[in-house]
Amino acid sequence: MKKILSFDIGGTKIAYAVINDKGEFFTKVSKQSTPKTAEGIAALLRETISKYEQEIDGVAISTAGAVNNANTGIINNPGNLPEGYGQTDFQGLSSKPVFVENDANSAGWAEYVLGAAKGMRNTVVLTLGTGVGAGIIIDGCLLKGKSGGAGEMHFKIDCQHRMCTCGLEDCLEAYVSGNGLAAEARISFADKNATSYDVIEGLKNNNPAAREAFDRWQGHLLDGLIAVGNLFDPEIVVLSGSLAQFVEYEKLEKIANERILTEPFKLREAVFKNDAGMLGAAMLMFHKNNTLK
């Protein structure tokens, strides 16, 4: 049975585990803080790989940032990782094959092959965290576009002149991310220090201002679901990330399906949590690289 050492590289943590082609974890997941420099990250990866290199058949890397279509490197430096990280020579880190994919794409693939969207060849997985990521599966293939950067959830969805991390105003990401929920919190609590946690806590206590903030946030999410429903006609939309657990799935599924022109889709919470990126990158490497199967 073939095994892959799979990493998930984020702005705050780097996690890794050894995974086989059935998606079984051979080791527990280890986590370390992300080093502050690109060289530090490369050194950590190299050191970890060297420990496992004899027993593995390849290295998979789920990472922040858009990844090229050859799955060898990053196109642009991700904002939450140190300068120079985008130029990392991933293949140079190991004598075994190295496969790189974006973290939202990897998480989406995990849900498609083993999770909430298992076997559904047209799937949209939205990761609702600090920002918003998307992994989009079209007829069983990951949507990558000409360069690998497809699936950016940056398009105008409202008109409140709300700044987005991409430099534009009013993108979907600015409304349905954790940052978006925090913005609703500041409005409803009339408190510039209010956070998304205040909304979640307030919901538990039936606080009307929290409910109002959450409903507005979920209204924007509904607009996003209508967009991906009409554009992609998916069998399922899966929500993952820290905010996914609070969504009212039945309600949103019903309303969205009443409003789209395309046929109804399912709306479900993701099965995989923090390990989705690692798992998906490994499974995608097995899928794409026949010699590893």
- Least Å distance, CB 107 to a copy of itself, is 18
Which residues 93-132 are close enough to bind a copy of itself by CB under 8 A? Answer: 120-122
With CB under 8 A as the rule, give the number of residues binding a copy of itself.
Answer: 44
Tell which positions 201-230 bind a copy of itself, by CB under 8 A: 223, 226-227, 230
Can you point out the beta strands (E) in the chain?
3-9, 13-20, 30-33, 58-63, 98-102, 123-128, 132-138, 141-142, 236-240, 266-269
Q: Which residues, 6 or more positions from 190, have their beta carbon under 8 angstroms from its beta carbon?
A: none
Q: How far is the CB of 40 from a copy of itself (least distance, A)?
A: 26
Q: Which of 259, 273, 288, 293 binds a copy of itself (CB under 8 A)?
A: 259
> Is the distance from CB of 139 to CB of 158 less than 8 angstroms?
no
Residue 158 found at the interface with a copy of itself (CB under 8 A): yes
User: Nearer Cβ to a copy of itself, position 152 or 212?
Assistant: 152
Q: Residue 233 interacts with a copy of itself (CB under 8 A)?
A: yes
Minimum CB–partner distance for residue 276 and a copy of itself (Å): 21
List the one residue out of 117, 126, 64, 62 whose CA is nearest residue 276: 62
The whole-angstrom separation of Cα 18 and Cα 28 is: 8
Q: Is the dihedral of CA 152, 145, 108, 64 positive or negative?
A: negative
Q: Does 255 bind a copy of itself (CB under 8 A)?
A: no
Q: Tell me if 156 contacts a copy of itself by CB under 8 A.
A: yes
Torsion sign, CA atoms 257, 164, 122, 233? positive
* Contact set with a copy of itself (CB under 8 A): 66, 75-76, 120-122, 138-139, 141, 143-159, 166-168, 223, 226-227, 230-235, 259-263, 265
